[in-house]
Copies of this chain bind each other. A is one copy, B any other.
Amino acid sequence: MKELAVVLISGGLDSCVTTAIAAERYEVAGLHVTYGQRTAARERRAFQEIADFYGVNERLVADLQYLREMGGSALTDERIPVPRAPDSLWTTPPESRAVSPTIPVTYVPFRNTHLLAIAVSWSEVLGARRIFIGAVAEDSSGYPDCRPEYYRAFNRLIEVGTKPETRIEVVTPIIHMSKSEIVQKGVALGAPLQLSWSCYQAEDRACGECESCVLRIRGFRQAGFIDPIPYARPIDWGAEATPLG
């Protein structure tokens, strides 16, 4: 019987490929965290479908509702006009919001620490000793908690903050990969990329225009594959691109 590992599955491309990597050696326990981001329902569906694909029995959806209660918390950047009512941050449709599309409105400072704290507590409950997270250092300009130093510091925190007999370690298998290497790895492992969802704006067909879509499209293009998810606008994948799925 395979050992159990907790895998953080947001439902995006990176977490989908991370799940594929974890599933090679471990039985996966899937942890999905939601905090009122606009595409929460679509991401949760992606999580469930990826978990179905890998036959995941242990699943936990954690709702960080208190992040909503902090109100402006996700929007500390001064370039972003903060809407009058904090609640509207999470519910107003994208087209009526004066928010720069290059800054994810769901950005929460120190967010990965919330996710990993849940993962550690759940690992203790399940007896899992590995936590997989699809952090990518390339993204680290905006997200300091995606860098390797952060994960070293977090593993040190686990060491001193849990019982001596506890042996839990966070692993970041794709942290040094580019988006195109992540796509290639996913294809090589037969990861269900068609089930993953990256778009920040839409839930039916990906907009193809937000930062997350653009990074994803670029990754597929450089890897030489056609992304199997539907897009709201025609995408040029290049003449040589291989269809998937």
Is A124 engaged at the interface, CB distance under 8 Å to the other chain? yes
Within 8 A of B (CB), among A79-127: 108-114, 116-118, 120-122, 124-125
Stretch at the interface among A9-17, A47-55, A158-166: A158-166
Return chain B residues, CB-CB under 8 Å to A108. 121
Measured in the bound complex, the distance between the Cα atoms of B153 and A179 in whole Å is 31
Q: What chain B residues lie within 8 Å of A153 (beta carbons)?
A: 153, 156-157, 159-161
* Majority secondary structure of chain A interface residues (helix, strand, loop or mixed): helix
CB nearest to A159 among chain B residues: B153
Q: Do residues A161 and B157 form an inter-chain contact, with CB atoms below 8 A?
A: no
A67 close to chain B: CB less than 8 A? yes
Does A72 lie at the interface of the complex (its beta carbon under 8 Å from any beta carbon of B)? yes
Size bracket, chain A contacts? 35 or more
Residues of B within 8 A of A61 (CB): 69
A63 to B64 alpha-carbon distance, docked (Å): 8
| CB atoms of B73 and A62 under 8 A apart | no
Residues of A whose CB lies within 8 Å of any CB of B are 60-67, 69-73, 76, 108-114, 116-118, 120-122, 124-125, 144-145, 147, 149-150, 153-154, 156-164, 166
- Contacts A/B (CB < 8 Å), 22 sampled: A60-B69, A61-B69, A62-B69, A70-B121, A70-B125, A73-B124, A76-B124, A76-B125, A108-B121, A109-B121, A109-B125, A109-B166, A114-B114, A144-B163, A145-B161, A145-B162, A150-B161, A153-B153, A153-B156, A153-B160, A153-B161, A154-B157
The 8 closest A-B pairs by CB, nearest first: A62-B66, A109-B124, A113-B117, A145-B161, A73-B125, A153-B157, A149-B160, A114-B117
